[in-house]
Amino acid sequence: MYDPKPEHKFTFGLWTVGNIGRDPFGEPVRAPLSPPGIVHLLAELGAWGVNFHDNDLVPIDATPAERDRIVADFKKALDDTGLVVPMATTNLFTDPVFRDGAFTSNDPKVRAYALQKTMNAMDLGAELGAKIYVFWGGREGTETDAGKNPLDAGKWFREALNFLCEYNIDQGYDYKFALEPKPNEPRGDIYLPTVGSMLGFIATLDHPRMVGVNPEVAHEHMAGLNFMHAVAQAWDAGKLFHIDLNDQKFGRYDQDFRFGAESIKSAFYLVKFLEDVGYAGSRHFDAHAYRSADLEDVKAFARGCMRTYLILKEKAEQFNADIEIQNLLADIKANDGSMDQFLGVYSKEKVTALKAHSFDRAAMGQRGQPYEQLDQLLIELLLGIR
């Protein structure tokens, strides 16, 4: 019943189930899996697609012949399993060259190299069928603001995206770009730290219609924000091009936990939102198994991400069909139409009528809302007793 199917559009990055468990304090604990091996593993688990950074697939110093062989082996695995590649991205953070950023590095050589690397990676993604291109600027930030002016950084980032939008058009790739914000880590502060700031920035680009966002649960939670609200704002702006699902304790380091592992209620609201509005894009899990996991447990991690999504989807349907919940909601939102003469689109008539109307402010201020009752019903629904 909670078995993932292709129509659920579940995807994982090569770097997620392939995570070897290195952290700042410890060496890897799991053997690396080959990209074709990961494709087969994901297919066995019921995922629809696989995403990658250029260097998850092709090592940064591979020769052209090695690249071609690697890509051919990967394509064969895709053909054998039916998995698709909906999204691709560039690794602009691992190599020492990006120690002070990529598109926002103070060094123009690094900025130019980042453009070259991204164009090559866009070529690779397009060759494998990707239609969404993610930009996560993990190194685009500072530890000290003494050395870099955020206006310069913003200008360089804008120039880079404008350049790459033109490249996208020239090549006929038809990518949609999805910018992924994160407040910090690995930099002390990363530029454009939240979904809201990314949306503001996109409006300043030459091709704003080509560019949207890739919000990640953990990244907004690191900033202490309500993820579903951020996603709703992106959706409202027509900018929800992709989404990174995972979980995270608030206020901690970047944990990338299994979807729903930590904040079930937030995960519920998110799934309910995506399903209610009919979001049709990938449900991408950008998470990895605990460092304590072995390969069997990595599979349990990936299954868990998808299973929790499907369980929450069912819970959302249950919420929408629950008579008691829906009756409460109807009372909460009751509208007898008497205010229609004042609300909505501006007109001089409405201004005159509204200014002449007298409100019983004291009575209005006495009206409570049964959110305690409603929330408890939701809790009981989530705990499985409704």
Look up residue 175 and give its DSSP letter.
P
One symbol per residue from 118 to 137: x for binding ligand GLT (CB under 6 A), - otherwise; what is it? ----------------x-x-
Total number of residues shown for the chain:
386
Burial class of residue 367 (count of CB atoms within 10 Å of its CB; 0-12, 13-18, 19+):
exposed
Name the residue nearer to ligand GLT (CB basis): 53 or 176: 53
The CA distance from 13 to 42, in Å, is 10
Give me the least distance between CB of 245 and ligand GLT, in Å please. Answer: 11
Q: Which stretch binds Mn ion (CB under 5 A): 34-42, 141-149, 209-217, 373-381?
A: 209-217
Binding of ligand GLT by 56 (CB under 6 A):
no
How far apart, in Å, are the Cα atoms of 143 and each of 82, 139, 190, 255? 44, 10, 9, 21
Which of 11, 55, 89, 263 contacts ligand GLT by CB under 6 A?
Answer: 89
Look up residue 265 and give its two tokens.
């209620």
Binding of ligand GLT by 325 (CB under 6 A):
no
Full strand arrangement of the beta sheet holding 49-53: 211-213, 176-180, 132-136, 87-89, 49-53, 10-13, 283-285, 244-245
Binding of Mn ion by 100 (CB under 5 A):
no
Q: Under rule CB under 6 A, which residues in 154-183 are in contact with ligand GLT?
A: 180
Give me the least distance between CB of 65 and ligand GLT, in Å please. Answer: 27
Q: Under rule CB under 5 A, which residues in 126-155 are in contact with Mn ion?
A: none
- Closest alpha carbon to 29 in 315, 291, 375, 242: 291
Binding of Mn ion by 262 (CB under 5 A):
no
- Positions annotated as catalytic residues are 53, 56
Q: CB–CB of 247/296 below 8 Å?
A: no
Binding of ligand GLT by 286 (CB under 6 A):
yes
Binding of Mn ion by 54 (CB under 5 A):
no
Q: Residue 114: what residue type?
A: A
Name the residue nearer to ligand GLT (CB basis): 9 or 272: 9
- The secondary structure of 45-75 as a DSSP string is HT-SEEEEEHHHHS-TT--HHHHHHHHHHHH
Binding of ligand GLT by 54 (CB under 6 A):
no
Q: List Cβ neighbours of 92 (8 Å cut-off, separation of 6 or more).
A: 98, 102, 103, 114, 117, 118, 137, 138, 139
Give me the least distance between CB of 224 and ligand GLT, in Å please. Answer: 17
Look up residue 292 and give its DSSP letter.
T
Which of 54, 56, 216, 262 contacts ligand GLT by CB under 6 A?
Answer: 216
Look up residue 267 and give its two tokens.
């995960």
Binding of ligand GLT by 244 (CB under 6 A):
yes
Q: Which stretch binds Mn ion (CB under 5 A): 28-36, 149-157, 208-216, 363-371?
A: 208-216
Interface residues with ligand GLT (CB under 6 A) are 15, 53, 89, 134, 136, 180, 216, 244, 286
Interface residues with Mn ion (CB under 5 A) are 216, 218, 244, 254, 256, 286
